[in-house]
Amino acid sequence: MPGVDHCLQEAMAIPGAVGASIVDYTTGFPVATTGAAPNSDHEAAAAGTADVVQAANSRSLFVSALPHDLLEDLIITTAGGYHLLRLVQTDFDSRLVLYVWLDRMLGNLAVARHRMQKLADDLVAG
Amino acid sequence: MTSSKTAAPGRLLAQVAGERQTGALVVGGHPGGAVYVLEGRVIYAESPAAPGVGELLTASGRLAGRTWQNALDRGTSGAQVGRLLVEQGHLTQGELELCVLGAIYDAAYFALSPADAPVEFLGGATHWLGPVVHVDPAAVAREVRRRARLLDDIFPDARVDTAIVSPIARPPRERISVTAPQWELLVHADGQRTPADLAFLLGKAGYATIQELRRLAAAGLLELPEVRGEAPEFVRLPRARGTAVDVRRPQVRPDDSPTVPVITGVRPAAPDPPAPTPAPSPALTEETSANGTVYRPPRLARRKPGAKLPKEVAGETPPAHPGTDEVLLKRIRTALRALR
């Protein structure tokens, strides 16, 4: 049965992944973490992740008025890495985002994005 | 082991965790709650202010009330409700874990944030959900403190967390913006619901509800409850006054030798012992006071058996409380569905 730990293991199997976590973006709390985090601080990374998602989500600046248009993922690029944030849509109330940190040289953005979509869906597939 | 005392719940949790105990840390007071530990790791937490796993899953429609009740019926005795739901294919393991994790941190905030509360540890107690996740108690305690700080950063007024939610009638500005969760709260705030009522009604985490309410308060969109100068005095008992109660205290003279055994030893300067209550007199309608006057309560008008109520009494309909009733009725409906 794929649980949270299994999901993070799979995320770490994405080429170039150096760290992964599941973050509650209302509180900025890392519900589950694995691997490395920027500046070796998962909690600070989670708080930053929450701020980014809140900014994109709460003001709905990028979500169009089309029905069912949802924020799906956010990608932050730095000189050394990619930071991918994928919203996990659960039927019950939760505000979770799957975060994966990729090495810039080893990682492939398209592959990672595709894999993360599948992971987030499998985690809660009813 | 059972110990009951008033203490910081967080400290007792740390102690229990350090000793790798199994049981339930029950926190009294308002709202109170319970944190379940298995060999020193937190496996569940619940609080009357935080919807539990069942409420989250059924209020959102993720599980039918009947499915949830079935799992409860079968799994409660063996403490494996969570495992049953996954094995029967109603939930994925991921969903269950995420839901339980959310519920733990949510309830822990309410149970563990008071600095001082009646706390009791029931050794050996287990939770019917069964162990789904294992959380480090230190991480829970740290997160509880962080969440309290977050709320105060938004709007440092804890009255918002418990007071009845009442949106202001007229917005303070020409243009206001609210998020979808805030909209839901405003629409369902009917002037009677508390934040906890709204959390249960909407199936949202209690902390997330409070967080949105503090944001609304910070934006000036909530009526704040009036400031009370001092702690409210709910019931003030009438003082015994001279003519109301017949008190005859024996005159104590220093040379009198005591006729009853006297407890010797250091005794704090205690107030006078309570006046001996007069023995109930056989005639309850009459009481003779100290000065000999007889008190007769006024006779109440009595209806004959079978007679109708007088019009002015019968005409009044009891006041309607649509809000509270709706919550209650929804819970009854869920329970009835489960029985079908």
Q: What is the pLDDT of residues A24-78, one digit of tens each?
A: 998 899 999 999 988 888 889 999 999 999 888 766 667 777 777 788 899 999 9
Is A93's CB within 8 Å of B91's CB? Answer: no
Domains of chain A: 4-124 (3.30.450.30)
Q: Which of A28, A92, A123 sits opposite B203 (nearest CB)?
A: A92
Q: How far is B196 from B323, CA to CA, in rounded Å?
A: 13
Cis peptide, bond prior to residue B31, ω within 30 of zero:
yes
**pLDDT > 90: percent of chain A:** 62
Is B205's CB within 8 Å of A90's CB? Answer: no
Q: Is the pLDDT of residue B285 over 50?
A: no
Give the 3-state secondary structure of residue A38.
helix
Residue B309 confidence (pLDDT):
65
Is A92's CB within 8 Å of B92's CB? Answer: no
Q: Is the pLDDT of residue B283 over 50?
A: no
Mean pLDDT confidence for B259-287: 49
Average pLDDT, chain A: 89
Is A93's CB within 8 Å of B143's CB? Answer: no
Q: Which of B98, B99, B142, B216 to mutate to test the interface with A (most CBs of A within 10 A)?
A: B98
Q: Is the pLDDT of residue A85 over 90?
A: yes
Give me A11's structure tokens: 């995320």
Q: Is the pLDDT of residue B303 over 80?
A: no
Q: Is the pLDDT of residue B282 over 80?
A: no
* HEC assignment per residue over B128-190: CCCCCCCECHHHHHHHHHHHHHHHHHHCCCCHHHHCCCCECCCCCCCCCCCCHHHHHHHHHCC
Burial B260-280 (b: 16+ CB within 10 A, else e): eeeeeeeeeeeeeeeeeeeee
Alpha helices in chain B (DSSP H): 9-18, 53-59, 65-75, 81-87, 93-112, 137-154, 159-162, 180-188, 195-202, 206-218, 311-314, 322-339
Is B205's CB within 8 Å of A93's CB? Answer: yes
Q: Which of A22, A95, A126 sits opposite B92 (nearest CB)?
A: A126
Neighbouring CB atoms inside 10 A of A102's CB total 25
Residue B8 confidence (pLDDT):
86
The residue written with tokens 């919807």 in the block is: B51
Q: How far is B210 from B198, CA to CA, in rounded Å?
A: 10
**Minimum Cα–Cα distance from B89: chain A residue:** A126
> How close B82 gets to chain A, by Cα (Å)?
13
Residue A24 confidence (pLDDT):
93
The residue written with tokens 């840390």 in the block is: B25
ipTM of the complex: 0.89
Q: What is the pLDDT of residues B225-238, one digit of tens each?
A: 775 545 555 555 55
Q: Give the lowest-confidence range in B26-35, B209-218, B228-237.
A: B228-237
Q: What is the pLDDT of residues B106-152, one digit of tens each?
A: 999 999 998 888 999 999 899 999 999 999 999 999 999 999 999 99
Contact B153, B213 (CB under 8 A): no
> How close A99 gets to chain B, by Cα (Å)?
15
Name the residue ranges covered by the structural domains of chain B. 2-154, 159-218
Q: Which of B59, B98, B105 sits opposite A96 (nearest CB)?
A: B98
Q: Which of B57, B146, B211 sits opposite A92 (nearest CB)?
A: B57
Phi then psi dihedrals of residue A35, to 5 deg: 70, -155
Q: Is the pLDDT of residue B246 over 80?
A: no
Is A4's CB within 8 Å of B99's CB? Answer: no
Q: Which of A27, A91, A124 sits opposite B150 (nearest CB)?
A: A27
Residue B313 confidence (pLDDT):
58
Residue B101 confidence (pLDDT):
94
Cβ-based contacts under 8 A for chains A and B: 89
DSSP state of B26: E
A126 touches chain B (CB under 8 A): yes
- Determine whether B135 is exposed, middle or buried from the number of CB atoms within 10 Å of its CB (0-12, 13-18, 19+): buried
